[in-house]
């Protein structure tokens, strides 16, 4: 719209000028080289305009003719530049696709057509990195240092290459140079923070954290947490040689992060040692509300040195009130109750944890409880055995590493504030395993002592079983354990297969009762042994059949234990009925 208005304004001005000249007629006389030219003013004005246009046209033609060589050169450079940028574009695509051959080819084309462009150097460096040529990559990054627009990029590439070859001194120098040239570089600030924390230079690390927060490279909450972790690390390191400095750092860390367990524990214990019991108790209670931890519980129970076990138990009750039903509070209360010899309260406190599956610490507390209350060695061994199979308790975990102590930096990845108090993902047992037995033992403390399950393998052989058959019922054949040693092994002839003959009598005469009578049991097939087991058996004695008198006065066969000789093929092969079945039985009528 503006351009249209300008066009109309120009037309109007020309029209006004033409009308003005028409209203004021006049003559123009020009004498040049003996010639006299007379014309009107309007014609003279038109002539001037035409001459100006002809002059402009002539100048344009002259410039075109004189600029032909430059134009040809410029067109050639433009074509080469376009081909160079096309090669850079295709090379970047090849790098993204992971094709080092195509990337190297396009990098060569880009160097030939656009050798001075920053993107050409970047393509060469990345193609060399992709193909594994570290020397060529470093050479390309060093060329970037000569140009102001690519200097920081070259420092980043040299930093990466130095870390890859393990030269941390050079890597730190490149990061320092990058921060000096451009303080807002996120990668350089992060690298300096990692270098300071790895070296244990906690003040320098705190400076790096504050710079990152000032440049808004990190969130405020994250920066506060990192400062608290660094202060806690500084306090733990200085607690032996500079207690005042350690206490000040721990208190500042607790102020920044009240739930930081190491700082709260250290501050509480140091305040208690100085005699500031009330402040220490309040600090530990605030930390317990944020995050329950056994170290905080232990520091709170020991806040006043020389207290009795009942005072410690009262403070444990206070912890459980601050966080009801918290497992750490339950364990702390149970331990304090055991030390106070309040065994009933300890059992009642541990009941919810045992109902959900006893953990390692719960099983160890139960073992301590059994030893303190009853001195029951069997129960203690049982609880210790359960502890080996119980699920693990919470621990400090970072990058797959499980540690009993907190560390400010992960030894695996070097990451700051990596340790988290949690249950390790891999447990050693199932929570449902043995839950009924745990509750039964807890409810009945006076039950017989339970020996370790490993002693179950040492079971004495069962005595001979006497079975009274019922009318019209087949006798029960129960395998008897093999005796440990055969008194007089004799490789005599193989006894015939045991056969039981049952002769029912309608009116048996009363006789004295047998030594032991048990109810009829379901049929149990004799255990068949393999040939390999048969070869290692001692040579048992041959079977001897002796008559016995049953309740009716008739003789019945009594079969004593019989085994195969070492060369007996056993029942697995087809044998005549005389062959022994290798199982040993003792049958009474």
Tens-place pLDDT, residues 531-576: 444 444 444 443 334 444 444 444 444 444 434 443 444 434 444 4
Q: What is the pLDDT of residue 121?
A: 86
Mean pLDDT of the chain: 76
pLDDT at 588 over 70: no
Q: What is the mean pLDDT of residues 175-185?
A: 92
What gap in Å lies between CA 348 and CA 439, rounded to an integer?
A: 11
Give whole-number Cα distances, 440 to 106, 359, 371, 536, in Å. Answer: 77, 17, 18, 43
The candidate with the shortest Cα–Cα distance to 468, out of 294, 309, 307, 587, is: 587
What gap in Å lies between CA 324 and CA 22, rounded to an integer?
A: 107
Task: Go through the chain and tell me how many residues it has.
Answer: 589
Q: How confident is the model at residue 427 (pLDDT cuts 50, 70, 90)?
A: very low
3-state secondary structure (DSSP) of residue 498 = coil
Q: CB neighbours (10 Å) of residue 206?
A: 19
The candidate with the shortest Cα–Cα distance to 518, out of 448, 469, 455, 567, is: 469
3-state secondary structure (DSSP) of residue 572 = coil
Q: What is the mean pLDDT of residues 310-331?
A: 92
Considering 252, 284, 306, which residue would you say is the last residue of a domain?
306
Q: What is the pLDDT of residue 493?
A: 38
What gap in Å lies between CA 417 and CA 233, rounded to an integer?
A: 10
3-state SS of 108-132?
Answer: HHHHHHCCCCHHHHHHHHHHHHHHC
Of 190-204, 315-329, 381-395, 528-542, give the lowest mean pLDDT range: 528-542
3-state SS of 23-63?
Answer: HCCCEEEEEECCEEEEEEHHHHHHHHHHHHHHHHHHHHHHH
Considering 48, 66, 84, which residue would you say is the last residue of a domain?
66
What gap in Å lies between CA 499 and CA 557, rounded to an integer?
A: 8
The span from the first CA to the last CA of the chain, in angstroms, equals: 126
- Establish if 432 belongs to a structural domain: no
Q: How confident is the model at residue 305 (pLDDT cuts 50, 70, 90)?
A: confident
What gap in Å lies between CA 191 and CA 174, rounded to an integer?
A: 10
pLDDT tens-place string over residues 183-241: 989 999 999 999 999 999 999 999 999 999 998 888 999 999 999 999 999 999 999 88
The beta strands (E) that lie in 399-545 are given as 401-403, 420-422
Q: What is the mean pLDDT of residues 289-313?
A: 92
- Establish if 18 belongs to a structural domain: yes
CATH number of the domain enclosing 301 = 1.25.40.10
Q: What is the pLDDT of residue 30?
A: 82
Determine which helix (DSSP H) or strand (DSSP E) holds 229, and give its type and residue range.
helix 220-238
Q: What is the mean pLDDT of residues 266-282?
A: 93
3-state SS of 381-428?
Answer: HHHHHHHHHCCCCCEEEECCEEECCCCCECCCCCCECCCEEECCCCCC
Q: What is the mean pLDDT of residues 111-136?
A: 86
301 and 275 in contact (C-beta within 8 Å)?
Answer: no
- Going by the DSSP 8-state scheme, the letter that residue 431 receives in this structure is T
- Establish if 495 belongs to a structural domain: yes
Tokens coding 335: 């331990």
What gap in Å lies between CA 109 and CA 91, rounded to an integer?
A: 9
- Establish if 414 belongs to a structural domain: no
Number of domains in the chain: 3
Q: What is the mean pLDDT of residues 167-191?
A: 92
Q: How confident is the model at residue 40 (pLDDT cuts 50, 70, 90)?
A: confident
Q: How confident is the model at residue 75 (pLDDT cuts 50, 70, 90)?
A: confident
With a CB cutoff of 8 Å and minimum separation 6, the contacts of 392 are 359, 360, 423, 424, 427, 428
Tokens coding 248: 């000040």
Most confident of 416-420, 500-504, 556-560: 416-420
Q: What is the mean pLDDT of residues 159-188?
A: 92
pLDDT at 519 over 60: no
Of 16-25, 85-94, 528-537, give the lowest mean pLDDT range: 528-537
- Establish if 49 belongs to a structural domain: yes
pLDDT at 589 over 80: no
The candidate with the shortest Cα–Cα distance to 224, out of 245, 206, 203, is: 206
What gap in Å lies between CA 405 and CA 247, rounded to an integer?
A: 20
What is the value of pTM for the model shown? 0.61
**Domain range spanning residue 60?**
2-66
Q: How confident is the model at residue 426 (pLDDT cuts 50, 70, 90)?
A: low
Q: How confident is the model at residue 39 (pLDDT cuts 50, 70, 90)?
A: confident
pLDDT at 80 over 70: yes
Q: How confident is the model at residue 67 (pLDDT cuts 50, 70, 90)?
A: confident
Of 9-18, 66-75, 401-410, give the lowest mean pLDDT range: 66-75
pLDDT tens-place string over residues 241-273: 899 999 999 999 999 999 899 999 999 999 999
- Establish if 203 belongs to a structural domain: no
Considering 66, 86, 109, which residue would you say is the last residue of a domain?
66
Q: What is the mean pLDDT of residues 432-451?
A: 42
What gap in Å lies between CA 554 and CA 549, rounded to an integer?
A: 6
pLDDT at 504 over 50: no
Of 10-14, 249-253, 422-426, give the lowest mean pLDDT range: 422-426
Q: CB neighbours (10 Å) of residue 64?
A: 10
Q: What is the pLDDT of residue 295?
A: 94
141, 145, 151, 154: CA torsion to nearest 10:
20
Give whole-number Cα distances, 300 to 305, 308, 360, 475, in Å. Answer: 11, 14, 23, 71
With a CB cutoff of 8 Å and minimum separation 6, the contacts of 201 are none
Rg of the chain taking only CA atoms, in angstroms: 50
- Establish if 366 belongs to a structural domain: no
Q: What is the mean pLDDT of residues 292-305?
A: 93
> 339-344: which pairs have CB atoms within 8 A and are 24 or more residues apart?
339/309, 339/312, 339/313, 340/309, 340/310, 340/312, 340/313, 341/309, 341/372, 342/313, 343/369, 343/372, 343/373
- Establish if 7 belongs to a structural domain: yes
Q: What is the mean pLDDT of residues 308-312?
A: 92
pLDDT at 429 over 60: no
């Amino acid at each position: 719209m503006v351009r249209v208005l300008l066009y109309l304004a120009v037309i109007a001005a020309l029209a006004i000028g033409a009308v003005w000249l028409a209203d004021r007629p006049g003559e123009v006389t020009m004498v040049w080289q003996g010639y006299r030219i007379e014309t009107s003013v309007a014609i003279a004005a038109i002539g001037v305009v035409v001459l100006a246009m002809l002059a402009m046209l002539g100048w344009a033609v002259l410039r075109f003719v004189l600029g032909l060589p430059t134009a040809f050169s410029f067109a050639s450079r433009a074509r080469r530049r376009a081909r160079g940028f096309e090669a850079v574009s295709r090379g970047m695509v090849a790098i993204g696709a992971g094709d080092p051959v195509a990337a190297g080819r396009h990098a060569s084309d880009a160097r030939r057509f656009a050798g001075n462009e920053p993107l050409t150097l970047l393509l060469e460096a990345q193609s060399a990195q992709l193909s594994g040529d570290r020397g060529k990559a470093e050479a390309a990054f060093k060329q970037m240092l000569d140009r102001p627009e690519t200097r920081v990029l070259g420092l980043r590439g040299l930093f990466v290459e130095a870390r890859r070859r393990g030269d941390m001194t050079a890597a730190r120098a490149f990061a320092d140079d990058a921060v000096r040239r451009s303080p807002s570089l996120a990668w350089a600030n992060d690298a300096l923070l990692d270098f300071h924390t790895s070296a244990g230079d906690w003040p320098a690390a705190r400076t790096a954290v504050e710079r990152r927060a000032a440049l808004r490279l990190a969130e405020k909450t994250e920066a506060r947490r990192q400062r608290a972790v660094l202060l806690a690390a500084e306090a733990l390191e200085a607690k032996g040689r500079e207690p005042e400095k350690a206490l000040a750092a721990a208190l500042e860390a607790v102020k920044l992060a009240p739930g930081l367990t190491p700082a709260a524990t250290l501050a509480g214990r140091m305040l208690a040692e100085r005699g500031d019991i009330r402040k220490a108790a309040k600090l530990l209670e605030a930390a317990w509300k944020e995050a329950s931890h056994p170290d905080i519980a232990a520091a709170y129970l020991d806040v006043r040195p020389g207290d009795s076990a009942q005072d410690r138990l009262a403070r444990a009750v206070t912890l459980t009130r601050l966080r009801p039903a918290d497992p750490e509070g339950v364990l702390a209360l149970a331990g304090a109750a055991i030390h106070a010899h309040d065994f009933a309260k300890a059992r009642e406190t541990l009941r919810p944890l045992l109902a959900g599956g006893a953990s390692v610490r719960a099983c160890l507390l139960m073992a301590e409880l059994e030893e303190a209350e009853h001195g029951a060695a069997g129960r203690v061994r049982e609880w210790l055995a359960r502890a080996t199979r119980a699920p693990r308790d919470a621990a400090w975990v970072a990058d797959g590493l499980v540690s009993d102590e907190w560390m400010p930096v992960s030894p695996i990845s070097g990451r700051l504030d990596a340790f988290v108090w949690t249950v390790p993902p891999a447990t050693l047992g199932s929570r449902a395993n043995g839950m009924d037995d745990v509750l039964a033992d807890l409810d009945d403390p006076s039950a017989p002592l339970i020996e370790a399950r490993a002693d179950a393998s040492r079971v004495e052989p069962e005595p001979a079983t006497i079975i009274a058959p019922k009318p019209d019922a087949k006798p029960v054949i129960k395998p008897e354990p093999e005796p440990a040693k055969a008194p007089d092994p004799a490789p005599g002839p193989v006894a015939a297969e045991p056969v039981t003959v049952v002769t029912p009598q309608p009116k048996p005469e009363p006789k004295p009762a047998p030594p032991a009578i048990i109810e009829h049991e379901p049929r149990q097939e004799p255990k068949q042994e393999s040939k390999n087991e048969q070869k290692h058996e001692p040579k048992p004695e041959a079977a001897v059949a002796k008559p016995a008198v049953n309740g009716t006065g008739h003789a019945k066969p009594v079969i004593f234990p019989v085994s195969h000789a070492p060369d007996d093929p056993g029942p697995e092969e087809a044998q005549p009925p005389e062959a022994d079945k290798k199982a040993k039985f003792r049958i009474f009528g």
